[in-house]
Amino acid sequence: MKKIILFSTAALVLLLITSCAEKRTYTPDEEALFSKAAENSIPVNEGFNRCVSFVDAWLDLRDSASGLIPRNINDSRSRDIWNAKDCAADNYPFMVLTSALLRRDLFDGVMMDMLEAETRLTSRIGSMPDTYSFSKQGFAESDTLLGEIIFGSAEYIKDGLIPLTEWLGPSPWSERMISIIDDIWKYAPVETPFGKICSDNPEVNGDMLQSLSRIYWTTGNRKYLEWAERLGDYYLLGSNHPTRNFSVLRLRDHGCEIVSGLCELYATVTYADPPKKESYREPVYEMLNRILEAGRNEDGLFYNSIDPVKGVPVNSGIADNFGYTLNGFYTVYLIDGIEKYREPVLKALEILNSKYRNYAWEGTSQDGYADAIEGALNLYVREPVAEAEEWINSEIRVLWGKQQPSGIIEGWHGDGNFARTTIMYCMWKTGGVYLSPWRDDLKIGGIWKGNSLYLSVSADTEWKGKIMFDRKRHSEYMNLPLDWPRINQFPEYFTAETDKSYSIAGLKKKEPEVPGAELLNGLPVRVRKGENLKIIVQGL
């Protein structure tokens, strides 16, 4: 009697796709693209494995009672605390992101547990977190300092929860973000002619401008736009204009946030409140023009800080965060089409490779490299200057050379930025895809050309899993009307769309037509030992 075997539709598709690689001949141009994709797969393998090693090393340092990681491991005081502006903002989020891509067991387990513990143990004024001491099993300080709590909360949102929300979409981390920002403004202490604001610190307010400009679009709630406009009015329409009224304007981090934050607000009101855009236009141009006049060295890179009124540098060191400020210039260029604000981006990208290789951005710290590479890569996506590509490829090796054999980079909260920039680099080298579940012998590289993605996939031993595709996160998750360049975003490359179909070449004899919705759930593949799959995914 014959056995009758029944397959579900999904199982049948999986069987067909993974049965064998398609036997087909590629053109010389296609083979060249596959060769480049295979070349890209080598640093992707190294980069992803470095990120996993970073996560494992920091998880070994967790406090046994709370499950939270320390601020750093280089002094006893920092080893005893979890804090919002450092641990929560800079290190933990990129442990979460690494786990989301490469270690789903950790993402669904310990990373979620840490969020629950952080929320339960550190929330002090409403949802706003304060510093937690492991030895005290309670808050590190008995006093409640609202200004410091708001500072840490703003950093946590902008540097930690915003990038997680941009990648993950709605999640427990986005819920934490909304609850914190609501309480920041509930307790906003600073009276101004434009209404209460959360701080008079340009860094905090820059964080808020960047965050509110995105959260408004994400939620559609106009209260976030109203709060952002209070800050915009305070700086652009009042007596606190960054280049007209500041005695010192910092153009590196811990100050530069106000420039790009005001430019993000300018982009937002362009679409959400056009009359407000008109009132902001000249003050924004005035700020950008003065920075161009007084804020750059001969190579077009920004000084650490300037006296904008006198037009002289206060600290003539070169800011590793040049990309963060240039994001603002390029955003205004995208909005108003003013070439004057695009040219500084091109000049900076063109000079990096000839004059800023192995540059001491922050002395010997890896954090300067992480921030400089992030800024350059984010702008390179918009303006693919060949010199910048060469510089990024060389400087990532310098950054990676800072990691210790243990997986720790330098043993402080800035280690998270190593993973952030490494993930950005690896996603660039794959064209926006990754493999799940990850294994340390896997190699995947990609070349994105038009509506086609050329992929090279290989493994030392047989592997079954999925190729995971990116989506248009800026519109699907964030509802942004324009994908303006912004700090802590992860650029989009080849993206799958639910209302489109895609052809797949290289996985089976007959090319399938796959709906975008299925592609976003992952394309099943099997790689045999030593096999090199050559796959073309093309939008139809």
Task: Dig out the tokens for 337 from the structure.
Answer: 């089409």
pLDDT mean across residues, the chain: 94
What is the mean predicted confidence (pLDDT) over 275-291? 98
- What's the Cα-to-Cα distance from 175 to each of 91, 151, 170, 182, 451, rounded to whole Å? 19, 19, 8, 11, 34
Closest residue by Cα to residue 163 from 486, 540, 517: 486
The answer, yes or no, to whether residue 247 has pLDDT greater than 70, is yes
For range 86-92, the mean pLDDT = 98
In the chain, the percentage of residues whose pLDDT exceeds 70 is 95
Tell me how far CA of residue 75 lies from CA of 81, 118, 402, 411, in angstroms.
11, 22, 20, 10
The domain limits of the chain are 48-432, 439-469+496-539
User: Alpha carbon 233 to chain centroid distance?
Assistant: 28
For 60, phi then psi, to 5°, come to -65, -15
Question: Which residues have CB under 8 Å from 354's CB, separation 6+?
Answer: 387
SS3 139: strand
Tell me if the domain spanning 439-469+496-539 has CATH number 2.60.40.10: no
Residue 5: predicted pLDDT = 36
Residue 21 has a pLDDT of 53
To 10 degrees, what angle do helices 112-122 and 92-102 make? Answer: 160
Strands 434-436 and 513-515: unpaired
| Contact indicator for 456, 533 with CB cutoff of 8 Å | yes
Residue 22 has pLDDT above 60, yes or no: no
Q: Pairing relation of β-strands 434-436 and 128-129? A: unpaired
pLDDT (tens digit, 9 = 90+) per residue, 183-201?
Answer: 999 999 999 999 999 999 9
Supply the CATH classification number for the domain 48-432: 1.50.10.20
- Sheet arrangement for strand 463-468: 434-436, 463-468, 523-527
pLDDT at 10: 42
Query: In the Cβ-directed half-sphere of 183, how many Cα atoms lie within 13 Å?
Result: 21
Residue 14 has pLDDT above 70, yes or no: no
E strands within 196-263?
249-250
Q: pLDDT band at residue 519, thresholds of 50, 70 and 90? A: very high
Number of H helices, E strands in the chain: 20, 16
Contact 274, 229 (CB under 8 A): no
With a cut of 60, say whether residue 15 has pLDDT above it: no
Model pLDDT, residue 511: 59
- Between the two ends of the chain, the Cα-to-Cα distance in Å is 45
Name the one residue in this structure whose structure tokens are 């596959």: 34
Q: Lowest-pLDDT range, 114-128, 306-320, 457-471, 508-522?
A: 508-522
CA 452 to chain CA centroid, Å, is 24
Q: Between 450 and 46, whose confidence is greater?
A: 46
Q: Look at residues 157, 166, 211, 173 and name the one whose alpha carbon lies nearest to residue 474.
A: 166
Distance between CA atoms of residues 400 and 378, nearest Å: 19
- Confidence check: pLDDT of 9 > 70: no
Q: Helix, strand, or coil here: 522?
A: coil
Q: Is the pLDDT of residue 150 over 50?
A: yes
Beta strands in 100-225 (DSSP E): 123-125, 128-129, 132-133, 138-139
> Which residue has 């480049």 as its token pair?
36
Q: What is the pLDDT of residues 434-465, one digit of tens each?
A: 999 999 999 999 999 989 999 999 999 999 99
Residue 99 CB-density burial (10 A; 0-12 exposed, 13-18 middle, 19+ buried): buried
**Helices 257-272 and 202-219: crossing angle, nearest 10°?**
30
**Whole-angstrom Cα distance, residue 145 to residue 150?**
9
Measured between alpha carbons, how far is 234 from 466 in angstroms, rounded to an integer? 50
Joined together, the tokens standing for residue 154 give 């703003």
Confidence category of residue 375, pLDDT binned at 50, 70, 90: very high
Is the backbone peptide bond immediately before 437 cis, with ω within 30 degrees of 0?
yes
Given this model, what pLDDT does residue 186 score?
Answer: 98
pLDDT tens-place string over residues 398-434:
999 999 999 999 999 999 999 999 999 999 999 999 9
Q: What is the dihedral of CA 390, 395, 398, 404, to 10 degrees?
A: -110
Portion of the chain with pLDDT greater than 90, in percent: 93
pTM, two decimals, is 0.94
Residue-wise pLDDT tens digits, 193-224: 999 999 999 999 999 999 999 999 999 999 99
Question: For 240, how many CA atoms within 13 A lie in the half-sphere containing its CB?
Answer: 17
How far apart CA 460 and CA 286 sit, in angstroms, is: 57
For residues 443 and 45, is the Cβ–Cβ distance under 8 A? yes
3-state secondary structure of 353: helix
- Beta strand pairing call for 452-458 and 443-449: antiparallel
Question: Which pLDDT band holds residue 7 (cuts at 50, 70, 90)?
Answer: very low
